[in-house]
Amino acid sequence: MAVWVALWGGLLLWSARQRGEKPSREGLTLLGVALAFALTFALWDAPGEFQFLNGLALLLALVLGAAVWRHAGLATTATGRMTGMVFTGGLRLIYGPFALLERFPWGRLRGAKSGRATPWLTGLLLTLPVLLVFGGLLAGADSGFADLISGLWRWNPEDLIQSSFSVLLWVAFACGLAYPALMALSPTLLGTATDTPEERGGRLGLIETGMPLLALGALFLVFLFTQLPYFLSGVTLPDGFTFAEYVRRGFSELLWVAFLTLGLLLAAYGLTRPEVRAQTTYRLLNLAVLLPLALVLVSAANRWRLYTLAYGLSEIRVLGAALLVWLVLALAWLGVCLWRGTLRRFAYPALLAGFGTLLIATLINPGALIARVNVGRELAAVTNVTRSTPQQADVWKLISLGADAVPTVVANLDKLSRICPNTERECNNSRAYVVQRLKVEYGAARDLRVWNLSQERARRAVLGLRE
């Protein structure tokens, strides 16, 4: 993946140099972000949720980077226009390869003065069928010659067709991504830079916009008032709730509240008249929503703390923490932009903050971190006010975290509780069975096309195991 992204970026840089042009700063930044996400696939075997989000972020960075490769100004692009860029980039992924085929200068390949390479290419094309036909006949006449030929080249039509199809798909995908950058197309088909609600303004006045914002701020204050006893106590729960019910349900819903509030404030700004936006009263209304929302996010962070205190770490909890950090950063930057009246500067930094948060969450190696924390809690027999019995780390759940967790599992295999993953039938959960599963999964060397450093470390750790 990293090699593919590097080659794709090199193609764009070479094309820009041939034309004597300089790529935009935003385009280069997003290309660097895409390369960083591609490297995560070569270095870590992250849990599935992280791999999906990293792949999505990689694609988003490539699409936006290609869209603005020859167009500066993404740093001051409104949120609506940036959304249009993503939508347009998705469409161009589909028809871009065909458009490039149509515009390719095929006539230059057929020119009379095409250079000295033409006779060599023609000779090669004429030589190949001769060798194939006569080589096949001679191989049929003598088994020794057939073994020699098969050792040089193992002919497998099915693999050849599959590999050719895969190469064509990757080439088409690369062409679709590069199409807007090579052709210097407009970043979006959905209007101009000023044809967005953020720029032209809406029709609502202070009363129409202010009433829902003020009501939302008051709603947040009432919610915080009901949460006050749990803030002060630190670990006390509402009556009738377990930690799982209180924390898991509450945390996700509070994150949704923060995310929807961000969208609501963006929509309110776009629907409000420009002269109203400039008023201090309108800015104070935004603060009346954001300030209590900050305390709501503190409540969400407290619930996350309680959940990890009781149950340790998991993929969802690490992702939830990363999302919470990004929401805090995005909402803080949104508040600054709304107060200054420069909302068009919000989207690009918020996007980079999202990329950075996800990259950092991947850099901390979540699979290894979760394994170390949960195994450490079991070995230390951790008990606290949230749980009266020590936690047991399930070896199968640890293995499912990916190759990054394998060294921790191997180092503590004799001490871990091995719980059967399927309660409907008898399960062999002996040490030998676990070792066998690990060797099947990680014992063999991987294909270089899907190789990564974590898989290699896991393979070395597993090869040293004895059943």
Give the ranges where 272-365 is alpha helix by DSSP (H): 274-277, 280-311, 315-340, 347-363
Kindly state whether residue 308 falls inside one of the protein's structural domains: yes
Answer yes or no: do 262 and 310 share one domain: yes
Dihedral sign of CA atoms 312, 313, 314, 318 in order: positive
Q: Does residue 398 share a domain with residue 252?
A: no
Number of domains within the chain: 3
Q: Are residues 204 and 340 in the same domain?
A: yes
| Same domain flag for 230 and 357 | yes
Is the pLDDT at 333 greater than 50, yes or no?
yes
pLDDT at 211 over 90: yes
Residue 156 belongs to some domain of the structure: no
Establish if 191 belongs to a structural domain: no
- Is there a contact between 351 and 329 (Cβ–Cβ < 8 Å)? no
Residue 92 gets which letter from DSSP? H
Are 302 and 231 a contacting pair, CB within 8 Å? yes
Q: Look at residue 112 and tell me whether its pLDDT is greater than 60.
A: no
- Calculate mean pLDDT across residues 284-296: 96
Is the residue at 52 inside a domain? yes
Backbone phi, psi, residue 394, to 5°? -80, 120
Task: Let me know whether 421 and 302 are in one domain.
Answer: no
Mean pLDDT of 407-431: 69
The tokens describing 169, both together, are 């798909």
Query: What tens digit of pLDDT does each residue of 223-256 get?
Result: 988 877 766 555 556 666 666 666 666 788 899 9
343-389 pLDDT per residue, tens: 999 999 999 999 999 999 999 999 999 999 999 988 888 887 677 78
DSSP state of 403: G
Q: Which of 227, 276, 277 is nearest to 254 (CA)?
A: 227
Amino acid at 34: A
Band of residue 198 on the pLDDT scale cut at 50, 70, 90: low
Question: Which residue, among 360, 337, 361, 362, has the nearest Cα to 348 in the 3D structure?
Answer: 337
Mark whether 426 and 389 lie in a shared domain. Answer: yes
Domain shared by 310 and 387, yes or no: no
Least confident span in 31-40, 164-173, 194-203, 281-290: 194-203
Q: Check whether residue 54 and residue 69 sit in a common domain.
A: yes
More confident residue, 389 or 467: 389
Do 169 and 233 lie in a common domain?
no
Residue 38 domain flag: yes
Q: Residue 243 belongs to what domain range?
A: 197-364
Q: Please, which pLDDT band fits residue 110 given cuts at 50, 70 and 90?
A: low
Whether 335 and 380 map to the same domain: the answer is no
Q: What is the pLDDT of residue 425?
A: 47
2 against 420, higher pLDDT: 2
- Among residues 364, 388, 403, the one where a domain terminates is 364
Which has the minimum average pLDDT: 149-158, 264-273, 389-398?
149-158
345 and 395 together in one domain:
no
* 131 domain-assigned: no
pLDDT at site 424: 45
If asked whether residues 87 and 172 sit together in one domain, one would say yes
Q: What is residue 225's three-state secondary structure?
A: helix
Q: Are 296 and 223 within 8 A, CB to CB?
A: yes
Q: Can you give the pLDDT at residue 327?
A: 97
Domain membership flag for residue 109: no
Q: At which of 340, 364, 388 does a domain end?
A: 364
Q: Could you tell me if residue 143 is inside a domain?
A: no
Instruction: Give the model's pLDDT for residue 319.
Output: 95
pTM above 0.85, yes or no: no
| Amino acid 336: pLDDT | 96
What are the pLDDT digits (tens) for 303-326?
888 888 888 899 999 999 999 999
Of 127, 152, 183, the position where a domain reaches its end is 183
As a whole number of angstroms, the distance between CA 347 and CA 351 comes to 6
Contacts of the segment 458-461: beta carbons below 8 A, 24+ positions apart: 458/45, 458/403, 458/404, 458/406, 458/407, 461/406, 461/407, 461/410, 461/411
